[in-house]
Amino acid sequence: MSIPVANWLTTSTGVELEEEVVFSVLSNQRRRFALHALCQRGETAELGWLAKRVAAWESGVSPARVDSDARKSCYVSLQQSHLPKMDKAGIVSFDKRSGVVHPTAAVDDLDIYFDIVAEPEIPWYGYYLGLAAVGVALLIAMVTNTGLFRTLPDIALMASLVAALVVSALAHTYTARRRKLGSDGPPPEVDQ
């Protein structure tokens, strides 16, 4: 079944990616790391650079500390298996002879898949629902003038609720941007 990703997200690329193929490509950590590195770079990369970056994330070390065996293993698997699969799917363009790879326009549409396959995080919908419930409770307490709320000015209560909302929105924005494909630093699934 072919699903036009552009219909889900945007019409910017118009590239059709088969859902099964996309999930198959993203099911492998090494391919996800390679995509993350390519999106960070934002341009053509050499296979050697890519292998070193991916091997560093897999090993939990800086690229300068990657040993030759880890780099070689990553290089060979990227060259022979992972990059050809991503090239066939239309996610990257890979020239096996020159060892040059670059992301295609289809990569821009993959963020929705990362949201779908992402590991569990804070359930923001529940958090905001709880925050709204606290706001309603505060409003009722203010209107009925009960308990502690008799002594506190209304503006202080509302200011604290607005401050909680602002802090929550900032935290939500930070975690969402950190999970974005190609964001700064290592891929989101790498323990820091």
Residue among 13, 53, 48 at smallest CA distance from 37: 53
Pair of tokens at residue 96? 């096996």
What is the pTM (predicted TM-score) of this model?
0.60
183/152: higher pLDDT: 152
The CATH class of the 2-117 domain is mainly alpha
pLDDT digits (tens, 9 = 90+) for 78-110: 999 999 999 988 889 999 999 999 888 887 777
Q: Does residue 184 carry a pLDDT above 70?
A: no
Instruction: Provide the pLDDT confidence category of residue 188 given band limits of 50, 70 and 90.
Output: low
| Per-residue pLDDT tens digits for 110-145 | 765 555 444 556 677 888 888 889 888 888 888 888
